[in-house]
Amino acid sequence: MTSTREPTHVLDGADAGGQFLRTALGLAVLRNESIRIENVRGDRPKPGLRHQHLAVLETMAAVCDAEIDGAELGAETVRFDPTPSSTGPDGSPRLEGGQYEVDINTAGSVTLLFDALLPLAPILESPLRVTATGGTDVEWSPPLDYFREIKLPLLRRFGLVAACEVDRRGFYPNGGGQATLHLGPAQLESLDLERRGPLEIVQLYSTESESLADRDVAHRQLEGALARLELGEDAPALERHETTAPSPSPGSALVIRLDYGTGVAGFAALGERGVPAERIGETAADEANRFLEREAAVDQHLGDQLLVFLALAGGRVRIPAVTDHVRASRELLETFDVALEFEDRGEELVVTAAPSLDL
């Protein structure tokens, strides 16, 4: 369906990746503004829309009845013009919710599709349910256990109403996993994540496909992580979760959750052909060890992903560093009149924002 409304914003994705696209679509819906994105995923080896980005675009269009141009593989220019189901007394958009099914057709990331939908919670009038088929644990995206055991619980603390069910895992290259996001109407609260508090518990989630069960991959990943973690003499409580899951592709994943009094951080590694399972656990543990030496309240990836929720609800978040994703998101949010304040705290930063989207 071709858009006829002139775009409010013309955005340049030349120096950004898929997260820029996902955030831009969400902001367009929240503001009920038409956008055009040029040079989509311009800094990637294969720019333009891949299967997972096309799935996000088409799903967002279906949820908000948007008119779109450029909904095809490889497209480097996209126009997106949302149409809300209704508007509130203050003119803010409202969406009906409903049930949707999405087939990404490849091992494209299911969790990144779900990530794109989460910021819509404040404008939902009824629950949204999206069942997606694709990759649940694949490169360049949060593994399923990171999404449902780290990100969702943290956001639920600040008012998000969301849960994720998994039917089967999907690893690279075949994908074929299936999961369902349940997202309810929610009024988000201000994020208070400046101080993380004491480390209270460490949880490890290790998953193997059924085809790898005879090699004890999930158990060996856990053992590798535990042997490498540097928790000190006053080590917190430990919880171990081992899962053998049906999947059309062999694969594995390990996620470590560091649970502080206030903050939370997650670190993940995916199984690789030819790499011992113990090494996968060690890789995730090495990242966790580096974080243990810092004072940030969330890990680097959450630091990227929480900026749009700061725009929605306001608050303060201490992040490990200004990554390329943070820079791109900051510039994008400023285009939509969301001001973020960055305060240096040694090598880390505290990001502050007032609620800016008036929902």
3-state DSSP call for residue 310? helix
SS (H, E, C) 97-129: CEEEEEECCCCCEHHHHHHHHHHHHHHECCCEE
- Tens digits of residue pLDDT in 2-21: 556 899 999 999 999 999 99
Examine the pLDDT at 285 and tell me if it is beyond 90: yes
- Return the minimum-mean-pLDDT range out of 121-135, 247-261, 319-333: 319-333
Examine the pLDDT at 88 and tell me if it is beyond 90: no
CA distance 16 to 27: 16
Examine the pLDDT at 227 and tell me if it is beyond 70: yes
Examine the pLDDT at 89 and tell me if it is beyond 80: yes
pLDDT for 34 equals: 97
Q: Considering Cα of 4, then 2, then 85, then 26, what sign does the dihedral take? A: negative
* Residue 98 CB partners (closer than 8 Å, separation 6+): 63, 126, 128, 129
Answer yes or no: are the C-beta atoms of 175 and 185 closer than 8 Å.
no
Flag whether the pTM goes above 0.85: yes
Which stretches of the chain are assigned E, i.e. beta strand? 9-12, 35-38, 67-69, 77-81, 86-87, 93-94, 98-103, 128-134, 161-168, 177-184, 191-193, 199-209, 237-245, 252-260, 264-270, 315-319, 341-345, 348-353
| Mean pLDDT of the region 66-87 | 95
| Domains, in order of start, for the chain | 9-186 (3.65.10.20), 190-196+295-359 (3.30.110), 204-289 (3.30.360.20)
| Mean pLDDT of the region 184-209 | 97
pLDDT for 222 equals: 98
pLDDT for 239 equals: 97
Confidence tier at 1 by pLDDT (50, 70, 90): very low
Average pLDDT, the chain: 95
DSSP state of 72: S
Q: Which one from 51, 53, 301, 325 is the annotated catalytic residue? A: 325
Is residue 301 part of the annotated active site? The answer reads: no
